[in-house]
Structure 1
């Protein structure tokens, strides 16, 4: 298994006070969902006639919505 180290922003440091959450499982789930979204977008773009700029714009919108969902 690969280990990943992340920096937690100051506004999220309160998570240290939440001992009952298995952060490894939670982050793993979030990463899987995000990677699945990226994979799906790549499949769509491969079949699409969108320009690379259009695809990047759509990916940015997905990223923004995903960050809203998890914040």
Structure 2
């Protein structure tokens, strides 16, 4: 499995360290997986669409917001 490095600021790192029971690598994997799946879905939905670039960006922002909310709920 390839490895990536994720940088977070000191404050976030300290906050994460307060929750050693959380597998942060798995949280990151899930977030990336969801993002890629959402982008693939967006690509499928917009393949034959006449949406403008700004319309696509608006939909993507809503999907991202929804995905972040789900990840936050799953990691609680």
What is the CA distance between 1:11 and its match in structure 2?
4.2
Tell me, what secondary structure is at the counterpart of 1:47? coil
Give the aligned CA root-mean-square deviation in angstroms. Answer: 2.0
Count of aligned pairs between the two proteins: 70
Query: TM-score when scaled to structure 1?
Result: 0.74
Aligned counterpart, 1:24: 25
Which consecutive residues of structure 1, in runs of 5 or more, have no partner in the other structure? none
Deviations 1:3-61 (CA, angstroms, capped at 9, x unpaired): 22112242453111322222222211121111101110011110212122211121122
Which consecutive residues of structure 2, in runs of 5 or more, have no partner in the other structure? none
Is structure 2 residue 6 aligned with structure 1 residue 3? no
Aligned counterpart, 2:59: 58
Aligned counterpart, 1:37: 38
